[in-house]
Amino acid sequence: MPEIIFNGPDGRLEGRYVQKATEGKPMAMILHPLPQLGGNMNNPVTYQLYQTFLNRGFTVLRFNFRGVGKSQGSFDHGIGELSDAASALDWLQSFNPDAKQCWLAGYSFGAWIGMQLLMRRPEINGFISVSPPANLHDFSFLAPCPSSGLIVHGDEDKIVDTDSVGKMVERLQAQKGIEITYKNINGANHFYNDHMEELDKTVNDYLDERLVVPESPAAKPAPSPEEEPYQDE
């Protein structure tokens, strides 16, 4: 899986990128969880989201926020990380100007950053938000939310409580012009230990509904854990 280095707002950013050969293929960008707790682009949930879009024929980018891995800079409490995400999307679009769709997926801290980026980039067609930390960060900026999307949460999450996510979802579902799908995975904690298959099915089922012409999963095996080491959040 090709490693890339591209310019960010505070130095170079490290990523993994696969570009589909066919022009006009949809593209997606994946955002990882909190760097201060070990979150990086090889986090299991982040990596699974990456594979989900890749297997559907998307051109896909995941990258490390500033100060993570080979990415330069230092943690900036979300402000700089939002700039990183904007720069990464600019980079992705520069190589895929004819992409027919643009999707954004984020997990935990990455979901918070992704939802902020969504408000600034009207070209984003849809989003996947996994365990958005609604009890730790203010999501009131989603007024109105510009795009339909999926929000997933585990009902045994001890880091992000279900009530806070549910209230955020209620506010979004009351808005007109968008459709917010909310799925609660029974028994899943914040890290989806022993529930990764359910998370994968939930995301794929939603994409089946949203994509006008669903891409057939590519017969491409995922790299082994030795090839893609990861850290949990």
Supply the pTM of this predicted model. 0.90
How many Cα atoms within 13 Å fall on the side-chain side of residue 94? 8
Instruction: Tell me if 89 sits within 8 A of 117, measured CB to CB.
Output: yes
pLDDT level of residue 102 (50, 70, 90 thresholds)? very high
Tell me the C-alpha to C-alpha distance, in Å, between residue 201 and each of 33, 51, 195, 196, 208.
21, 13, 10, 9, 10
CB atoms within 10 A of CB 200: 16
| Residue 2: per-residue pLDDT | 84
66 pLDDT higher than 50: yes
Region 7-19: mean pLDDT is: 97
Domain residue limits, the chain = 3-209
**What is the rounded distance in angstroms from the CA atom of residue 225 to the CA atom of residue 115?**
29
Q: Averaged over 72-96, what is the pLDDT?
A: 98
Q: What is the dihedral of CA 220, 194, 232, 77, to 10 degrees?
A: 100
Distance CA 89, CA 232 (A): 24
Per-residue pLDDT tens digits for 125-149: 999 999 999 999 999 999 999 999 9
**In the chain, % of residues over pLDDT 70:** 90
Once rounded to an integer, what is the mean pLDDT over residues 118-125?
A: 97
Answer yes or no: is pLDDT of 214 > 70: no
Give me the CATH code for the 3-209 domain, please.
3.40.50.1820
- Segment 151-161 mean pLDDT: 97
State residue 1's pLDDT score.
62
Residue 22: band (very low, low, confident or very high) from pLDDT cuts 50, 70, 90: confident
pLDDT at 4: 97
Asked if residue 231 has pLDDT above 60, the reply is: no
> pLDDT at residue 14 above 90?
yes
Calculate mean pLDDT across residues 47-59: 97
**229 vs 197: CA distance, rounded Å:** 19
Asked if pLDDT for residue 99 goes beyond 60, the answer is yes
pLDDT, averaged across the chain: 92
31 strand-pairing partners:
106
Confidence band for 213, pLDDT divided at 50, 70 and 90:
low
